């Protein structure tokens, strides 16, 4: 057992070093993109480093990945597009946060997707207060489409801006967010920006599971390659915040190209890469907040809907992930608890547990989460594994995923 724990310690040290390096490429949303070949994306001086260590030199981009004229747009026109289905508890605050920005040219379009609650009435009341908010009703869902993708497709047909921000109704843009968005895109004429919003949590299962999205990306996806590699395998996106140039949207086929796919955000990001347009995965948690779920049941059902499809429904990837995570993060605390039977286990098992905690703290600090959550990493891993198995079971049994009154395959 001591030998096994030693191997685990070595693997965790390597993982921690990778996370430190990887987080150096998680740059703030408004990091500038110099319009010259081989220039770096440097973080703005007004913001501190995003990662625990110093922010790295940035992502290299070529002339083909920025505006052909390199002409900075003084005020890029922005359309904020919100598909909403049964969001009466969220949509009002979402819109109030958007309207706090004084920009009179801001276009906000909300699509009501056959909500059975007061979503449409709330939006209509706010729309009556001024010209910047517009409400449209979804047409019936055509065969082969999923609801959110079809909603976004209809919103895109109405948008007038140069850049389109597909935003979930449970997102709250913070003060200065619109300015940060415009600063990020001011010298680009194509591309897609995304990132993980700051995750507000309430229940214990929210705190344990929701921040694991960032943990999985930080531990396994080289963020440098998300920006620099044309390979669609190196892709990251979060559907709550997708900022895309209208020409890029059209070039990648829009939502129609992946109309029946559960993970429309990842499919869009892959399509953008395949079209040869730039993809930026940024630290947006300073300016974009959201609460995805409000209780343990919603956490379970929400991640059950997305986790196994997020692994491309590949049982080998699922099995490998479960085995690796059980070895690295569950075995050490179990051995530590049993070390009173064999004192020689105590120090290596404690070291392995603390290394796992350190990795989680590193990721959490980069994403605005409290450091103390890292102490509960074994519980986070355990619940993630259980939800992954439940997600796999739904697929293999053919029962489908239920969400807001709809069933998804």
The answer to whether residues 290 and 318 belong to one domain is no
Residue 342 lies in a domain: yes
Long-range contacts made by residues 401-409, C-beta under 8 angstroms, separation at least 24?
401/262, 401/301, 401/304, 401/305, 402/301, 403/301, 403/302, 403/305, 404/85, 404/86, 405/86, 405/116, 406/147, 408/146, 408/262, 408/305
The answer to whether residues 141 and 288 belong to one domain is yes
Looking at 296, 322, 352, the residue that finishes a domain is 296
The answer to whether residues 281 and 321 belong to one domain is no
Question: Which is nearest to 97 in space by CA: 192, 210, 178, 189?
Answer: 178
The answer to whether residues 254 and 114 belong to one domain is yes
The answer to whether residues 204 and 317 belong to one domain is no
Residue 113 lies in a domain: yes
Residue 205 lies in a domain: yes
Residue 62 lies in a domain: no
| pLDDT at 230 (0 to 100) | 92
The answer to whether residues 205 and 87 belong to one domain is yes
| pLDDT at 398 (0 to 100) | 73
Question: Which is nearest to 359 in space by CA: 7, 11, 6?
Answer: 11
Number of domains composing the chain:
2
DSSP character at residue 28: B
Whether 255 contacts 153, CB under 8 Å: yes
Q: Packing angle between helix 315-325 and helix 377-397, nearest 10 degrees? A: 160
The answer to whether residues 194 and 338 belong to one domain is no
Residue 39 lies in a domain: no
The answer to whether residues 165 and 277 belong to one domain is yes
Question: Which is nearest to 53 in space by CA: 29, 14, 23?
Answer: 23
The answer to whether residues 268 and 343 belong to one domain is no
Residue 265 lies in a domain: yes
Domain housing 146:
72-296
Question: Which is nearest to 243 in space by CA: 157, 325, 166, 172?
Answer: 166
Mind listing the pLDDT tens digit of every residue in the chain (409 residues)?
889 999 999 999 999 999 999 999 999 987 755 433 333 333 333 333 333 333 333 443 333 333 333 333 345 689 999 999 999 999 999 999 999 998 888 999 999 999 999 999 999 999 999 899 999 999 999 998 998 999 999 999 999 999 999 999 999 999 999 999 999 998 888 999 999 999 999 999 999 999 999 999 999 999 999 999 999 999 999 999 999 999 999 999 999 999 988 889 999 999 999 999 999 999 999 999 999 999 999 999 989 888 888 888 889 999 999 999 999 999 999 999 999 989 999 999 999 999 999 999 999 999 999 999 999 999 999 999 999 999 999 888 877 666 565 565 5
| pLDDT at 124 (0 to 100) | 96
| pLDDT at 43 (0 to 100) | 33
Summarize the chain as % helix, strand, coil (round to 5).
50, 15, 40
The answer to whether residues 259 and 319 belong to one domain is no
The answer to whether residues 172 and 271 belong to one domain is yes
Q: Specify the CATH number for the domain of residue 138.
A: 3.90.550.10
The answer to whether residues 248 and 391 belong to one domain is no
């Amino acid at each position: 057992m001591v030998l096994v724990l030693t191997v685990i310690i070595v693997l965790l040290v390597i993982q921690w070093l990778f996370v430190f390096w990887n987080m150096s490429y998680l740059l703030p949303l408004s990091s500038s993109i110099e319009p010259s070949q081989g220039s770096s994306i440097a973080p703005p001086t007004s913001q501190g480093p995003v990662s625990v260590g110093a922010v790295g030199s940035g992502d290299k981009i070529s002339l083909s990945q920025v505006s052909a004229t390199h002409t900075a747009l003084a005020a890029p026109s922005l359309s904020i597009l919100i598909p909403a289905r049964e969001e009466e508890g969220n949509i009002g605050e979402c819109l109030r946060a958007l309207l706090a920005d004084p920009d009179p040219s801001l276009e906000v379009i909300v699509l009501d997707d056959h909500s059975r609650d007061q979503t449409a009435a709330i939006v209509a009341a706010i729309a009556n207060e001024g010209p910047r908010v517009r409400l449209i009703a979804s047409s019936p869902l055509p065969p082969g489409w999923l609801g959110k993708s079809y909603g976004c497709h209809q919103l895109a047909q109405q948008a007038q801006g140069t850049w389109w921000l597909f935003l979930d109704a449970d997102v709250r843009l913070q003060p200065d967010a619109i300015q940060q968005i415009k600063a990020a895109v001011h010298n680009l004429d194509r591309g897609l920006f995304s990132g993980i919003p700051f995750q507000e949590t309430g229940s214990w299962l929210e705190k344990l599971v929701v921040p694991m999205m960032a943990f999985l990306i930080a531990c396994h996806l080289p963020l440098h390659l998300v920006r620099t590699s044309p390979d669609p395998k190196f892709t990251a996106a979060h559907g709550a915040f997708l900022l895309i140039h209208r020409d890029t949207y059209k070039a990648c086929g829009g939502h129609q190209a992946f109309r029946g796919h559960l993970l429309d955000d990842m499919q869009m990001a892959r399509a953008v890469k395949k079209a040869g347009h730039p993809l930026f995965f940024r630290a947006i948690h300073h300016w974009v907040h959201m609460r995805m779920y409000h209780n343990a049941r919603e956490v379970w059902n929400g991640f059950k809907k997305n986790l196994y499809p997020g692994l491309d429904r590949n049982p080998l990837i699922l099995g490998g992930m479960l085995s690796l995570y059980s070895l690295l993060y569950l075995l050490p605390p179990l051995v530590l608890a049993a070390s009173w039977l064999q004192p020689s286990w105590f120090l290596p098992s404690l070291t392995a547990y603390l290394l796992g905690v350190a990795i989680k703290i590193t990721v959490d600090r980069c994403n605005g989460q409290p450091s103390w959550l890292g102490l509960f990493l074994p519980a986070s891993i355990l619940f993630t594994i259980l939800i992954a198995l439940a997600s796999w079971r739904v697929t293999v049994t053919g029962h489908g995923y239920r969400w807001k009154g709809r069933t998804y395959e």
